[in-house]
Chains A and B, each alone.
Chain A
Amino acid sequence: MPQPPTDSHNPKGAPGPARRLRLDDLAATAALAGHLATAVSAGDCLALSGDLGTGKTSFARALLAALGVDEEVPSPTFALVQTYQAGPLAVAHFDLYRLDDPDDVAELGFDDALDTGLVLVEWPDRLGAALPEDRLDICFTLADGVRMATLRPQGSWSHRLDGLPP
């Protein structure tokens, strides 16, 4: 498997260009989720970061809906992980908010989930060294009433957003 190019500033692989999107309402979140739903497959990791109340779980819910999951999508904060089946695609939705020891990630089955399906992870900073190098970082911010999502492709994701609408 070819290694992504590296440079001294980013030993984990060259990121693709960042995209900033304004999410004015749930419809905008759903549109972003709808585009990404066409791009994801088993083995992918979407790392959803941002403070409390900035829209991480709302995005995850929209993505699961776009993938065809019509079950309830509760906040995974309490249970730490919720799993779904979107047709043939297994999806694991992690929320590491309550975690303080990266060693606990192994017990949650994070690696297994990544081996067998799509992984959505909130509070990915808690992963430490377990954070996959290949991933799409999506950072949510809310300031002055404006919600933004910044997409930063890492590793193999660097060209995978090329076909998506701006």
Chain B
Amino acid sequence: MTLVLGIETSCDETAAAVVADDRRILSNVVLSQIEDHRAFGGVVPEIAARAHVSALDGLIRRALDEAGLALSAVDGIAATAGPGLIGGVIVGLVTAKALCAAAAKPLLAVNHLEGHALTPRLVSGMAFPYLLLLVSGGHCQLLVVAGVGRYRRLGTTIDDAIGEAFDKTAKLLDLGFPGGPAVERAAARGDAGRFSLPRPLAGRPGCDFSFSGLKTALRERAAALPQPLAAQDRADLAASFQDVVGALVIERTERAMGLSGKMPLVVAGGVAANGALRRRLEALAAQHGVPFVAPPPALCTDNGAMIAWAGLERLQLGLVDPLDVAPRARWPLDPLAAAPGAKA
């Protein structure tokens, strides 16, 4: 039995988890989801590396306690080493290094995106290869996951991440926070056909995404209506936005399916919780006769279990990192696609 402790601090979440090689999640602790998170230092970290600092050791203790393990019982310690907000990444990685040095354990420096990419294998033992659509607050990418460390990026957003587009739409329409669920709720009461919005990059070659122009268009449509916006107007705008985003994602994903050849379709990331988007992706996979997998929401948003699992897969392949490995604010999964001048 191989056990790995995983630490995630690359953005807004502080998280720790323990997973086993038989795909059991022994613990999965996420600070913002703990009701009494004040006991861990007072604030859910948003920006501040110091908030990760004050919360992290208690959270690791809790993850080990819930797993019923002493630190000496784990076989490796994994931490997100990037990409992300560098202060938070440093806190998690340095903590993992210190634990590794103190307990004589191997260090696994995990790419946050790899954590998302390998989650379907933790959830359902999915075999390589598969096509991954990663949709979150910070990312929007299409990747062929061919093996551990073997990723081919087919497309990415050239401007805003998809979750950011939802959040800012919620803000523009004054729908509340968090933006994703707020837009989805409003859209459910709205008429998606009322407003015609642009479809950036639709029909263009490649699989890149663009959402920035939608924000501007939405703003102009909203400004042309009587102010303050009526509830129905806001619902119709939200529905039109969600519909056009869904259509864009489907169009780009279908294009990626054509490039990748027939393989299962996986969606991951916080925006995968959007029911409307999930239904459209499910229908797309069915139409192409490929399996569709969406990890449960708790494993789609940022968490420690995905980092522990990616670390475990790397450990099994002997891909251990030295203690002087550097954190990286920017760390594309597919270095070729992200090289200067490269166009996906």
Interface of A toward B, CB cutoff 8 Å: 51-55, 57-58, 61, 70-72, 74-75, 77-83, 98-99, 101, 104, 107-108, 142-143, 145
B219: which A residues are within 8 A, CB to CB? 51-54, 142
Cα distance A71–B332 in the bound complex, in angstroms:
12
Residue contact B50 to A107, C-beta cutoff 8 Å: yes
Cα distance A98–B12 in the bound complex, in angstroms:
11
Chain A binding surface, main DSSP class: loop
Cα distance A58–B158 in the bound complex, in angstroms:
11
Residue contact B47 to A142, C-beta cutoff 8 Å: no
A104: which B residues are within 8 A, CB to CB? 46-48
The contact of B47 among A70, A98, A145, by CB within 8 Å, is A98
Cα distance A74–B156 in the bound complex, in angstroms:
10
Interface of B toward A, CB cutoff 8 Å: 11, 46-50, 83-85, 87, 137-138, 156-161, 163-164, 168, 171-172, 212, 215-216, 218-220, 223, 329-330, 338, 340-341
Cα distance A66–B46 in the bound complex, in angstroms:
32
B212: which A residues are within 8 A, CB to CB? 53, 57-58, 75
Residue contact A53 to B84, C-beta cutoff 8 Å: no
Cα distance A52–B168 in the bound complex, in angstroms:
7
Cα distance A78–B83 in the bound complex, in angstroms:
12
Residue contact B47 to A75, C-beta cutoff 8 Å: no
Residue contact A142 to B138, C-beta cutoff 8 Å: no
A80: which B residues are within 8 A, CB to CB? 47, 85
Cα distance A163–B47 in the bound complex, in angstroms:
40
A82: which B residues are within 8 A, CB to CB? 329-330
Cα distance A98–B157 in the bound complex, in angstroms:
20
Q: List 22 A-B contacts (CB under 8 A).
A: A52-B172, A52-B219, A54-B216, A54-B219, A70-B340, A72-B158, A74-B158, A75-B159, A75-B160, A75-B164, A75-B212, A77-B160, A78-B11, A78-B138, A78-B164, A79-B84, A98-B47, A101-B47, A107-B48, A107-B50, A108-B47, A143-B223
